[in-house]
Chain A
């Protein structure tokens, strides 16, 4: 059973618009949550890590929230650029130690059009 669900599966926005990507998970325990960006044909690049029970991070035009009570995270992208076109992957870590595992979502494909 998939433990990390991302929505929407794909999203098309116009350059300059804002968008929100969702991540719901059932991983227990949930130590931390990461968001990655994957350009087509490339590896994953880390955007942010959320750790606290209710956490917020900001990295330029990217901002993210985590609510561990709801097991839910969002990734906000403001003023989208064409270069934001990519797949965004939500990953939940079940421990803060080397014994833990990472649980990957299938990703949201974002397409930014002119």
Chain B
């Protein structure tokens, strides 16, 4: 069974704080994604990567950085967190691109609150 593990599961920080969200997949997938989910909206793509060292900008990248250190690990960085970044964040992985017919596997999510 494909596995995507996110940590932490919950995080509270203050405005201006520095936050790192971690994602690890053991599926040997090339593609990894970071999404945010907000009430009343569908998931929105922040950043994605198709391999170690690669980074692609998503649809809502402002205020976020990301880094893919290995095939397994993808990190989302908020260097100056703002209350507008309070959200539920999901990491996902896929073998051949999120828009192919291959299955997309999601982590359990990280709930971030910025006070």
Q: Which one of A2, A44, A95 contacts B99 once the chains associate, using CB atoms below 8 Å?
A: A95
B42 touches A98 (CB 8 A): no
Task: Answer whether residue A31 sits at the interface, using C-beta atoms and an 8 A cutoff.
Answer: yes
Task: Answer whether residue A114 sits at the interface, using C-beta atoms and an 8 A cutoff.
Answer: no
Query: Which of A14-22, A58-66, A73-81, A104-112 lies at the interface with chain B?
Result: A104-112
Give the residues in chain B near A107, CB-CB below 8 Å. 42
B45 touches A101 (CB 8 A): yes
Task: Answer whether residue B4 sits at the interface, using C-beta atoms and an 8 A cutoff.
Answer: yes
Q: How far is the CB of A60 from chain B (nearest CB, A)?
A: 17
The distance in angstroms between the C-alpha atoms of A41 and B101, with both chains bound, is 26
A43 touches B106 (CB 8 A): yes
Q: How far is the CB of A13 from chain B (nearest CB, A)?
A: 22
Which residues of chain A from 69 to 114 have a CB within 8 Å of any chain B CB?
89, 91, 93-107
Overall SS of chain A's interface = loop
B42 touches A4 (CB 8 A): yes
B98 touches A43 (CB 8 A): no
* A98-B43 contact in complex given A31-B99, A45-B106, C-beta closer than 8 Å: no
Question: What's the A-B contact tally at a CB cutoff of 8 Å?
Answer: 72
Task: Answer whether residue A42 sits at the interface, using C-beta atoms and an 8 A cutoff.
Answer: yes
Task: Answer whether residue B114 sits at the interface, using C-beta atoms and an 8 A cutoff.
Answer: no
Which residue of chain B has the shortest Cβ distance to A106 in the bound complex?
B42
Q: Which one of A94, A100, A104 contacts B42 once the chains associate, using CB atoms below 8 Å?
A: A104
Interface centre among A32, A43, A51, A105 (most CB of B within 10 A): A43
B residues adjacent to A (C-beta < 8 A) = 4, 31, 35, 40-45, 50, 59, 90, 92, 96-101, 103-104, 106-109
10 tightest Cβ-Cβ pairs between the two chains A and B? A100-B99, A98-B97, A104-B42, A43-B106, A104-B43, A93-B99, A44-B106, A95-B99, A43-B108, A102-B98
Supply 17 further A-B pairs (C-beta < 8 A) apart from A89-B43, A93-B100: A2-B42, A42-B109, A43-B107, A49-B101, A91-B42, A96-B100, A97-B99, A98-B99, A98-B100, A100-B98, A100-B100, A101-B45, A101-B59, A101-B98, A102-B99, A102-B104, A104-B44
5 contacting pairs across A/B (C-beta < 8 A): A41-B108, A43-B108, A46-B103, A98-B97, A107-B42
